[in-house]
Amino acid sequence: MSSAHRQERAAARLHGPVSRLPPGPKVAGLVAFLVVVAVTPATAPAALAAEGLIAAAVATLALVDWRAVAGRLTLDLPLAVLALATALAGRPPHVEVAGLTLSQPGLRAGLAIVARATIGIVAVSAVAASSSVPEIVDGLRRLGAPGWFRQLVAVTARQLQVLRADLAKLRLAVAVRTGSGRRTLALASGARSLGSLFVRSTERAERLRLAAELRGGELAPAATPAGSAAAWAVALVPAALALVARVGLG
């Protein structure tokens, strides 16, 4: 349909031990691990550090692209600001850190927020790097997501590729027409091209619906094999380790 599809197929996924795990257990294992992280209190920094190491180890096994993970970690920046605010404005007792008077519980809470968010980003990166989108969609079934919703996620992921390519074309056209690299102008025309992108993509949705009706079938995502008991056991190892760290170090 679009060159975007080819690009995605061409971006060959690296195959490591984690990518061989069936998606159902993998997504369930991710959720279990993150639930344990979420209940690890700020007063147990050693447990949080251990959970961070577990996430990093799994991510290494999953052959994540650490540069991409570093890019995603910029999502932590606003949280770091929030952490600083909690440390500055938190309740007593206060401690001196590098000449600043900081609230000890506030500092702990702020650091814990940043730590959990970072662990989350690394853990999700590990799953995302080792699964194709259809696999993740199938993994959603293990979380009880109904069929219509999974189908929706699958079509969205495909359309995301197409729309990205569309937007790039629109932007190029705007840049050529206005012939300006000025930032404010680029923003304004970028917003306007988003308007025409909506019109284009809604018209495409209509065509997609027609095509699906003509085929008489659904746009059903392919099912992947259910996990064996061994796969489930492997997938739940990080969560189990995190639980051990939470209880042992907490």
Partner 1 sequence: MHIPDGWVDLPTSAAAGVVAVGATAVAGRRAAAALRERATTLPAVVAAYILVAQLLVVPVGLGTSAHLIGAGLAALLVGPSVAIVCVAVVVVVQALVLADGGVTALGLNLVNDGIVPALVTFGIFLALRPAVLRAGTPHLRRRRAALGAGGAAAAGSLAAAGAATLAFVVGGTDAVPAHVVAASIGGAHLLLAAVEGALTGVILAAVLRLRPDMVRVLRTEMVGSQPDTSTEPAEVP
Is 58 among the residues that bind partner 1 (CB under 8 A)?
no
User: Which x/- pattern, by CB under 8 A, does the window 220-249 give for partner 1?
Assistant: ------------------------------
Is 212 among the residues that bind partner 1 (CB under 8 A)?
yes
Q: Residue 111: what residue type?
A: L
- Binding positions for partner 1, 64-83, rule CB under 8 A: 69, 72, 75-79, 81-82
Beta strands in 60-130, from DSSP E residues, in sequence order = 94-97, 100-103
* Nearest residue (CB) to partner 1, 143 versus 230: 143
Beta strands in 65-133, from DSSP E residues, in sequence order = 94-97, 100-103
* Nearest residue (CB) to partner 1, 110 versus 227: 110
What DSSP designation does 92 have?
S
* Nearest residue (CB) to partner 1, 185 versus 230: 185
CA angle 230, 232, 237 (to 5 degrees): 100
Residue in the block written with tokens 């052959």:
63
Is 208 among the residues that bind partner 1 (CB under 8 A)?
yes
Cβ at position 216, least distance to partner 1 in Å:
13
Per CB under 8 A, the segment of 7-15, 29-37, 93-101, 222-230 that binds partner 1 is: 29-37
159 contacts 201 by C-beta, under 8 angstroms: yes
> 149, 185, 228, 233: which one contacts partner 1 (CB under 8 A)?
149
Alpha-carbon span 152 to 230, nearest angstrom: 30
Residue in the block written with tokens 């920046």:
77
> 61, 63, 153, 226: which one contacts partner 1 (CB under 8 A)?
153
Per CB under 8 A, the segment of 10-18, 101-109, 230-238, 242-250 that binds partner 1 is: 101-109
> 103, 138, 221, 242: which one contacts partner 1 (CB under 8 A)?
103
Is 112 among the residues that bind partner 1 (CB under 8 A)?
yes
Q: Residue 219: what residue type?
A: L
What is the Cα Rg of the chain in Å?
23
For residue 225, CA distances in Å to 14, 22, 25, 231 come to 20, 7, 11, 11
Helix, strand, coil percentages, rounded to 5, for the chain: 75, 5, 20
Cβ at position 235, least distance to partner 1 in Å:
14
Cβ at position 129, least distance to partner 1 in Å:
10
Cβ at position 78, least distance to partner 1 in Å:
6
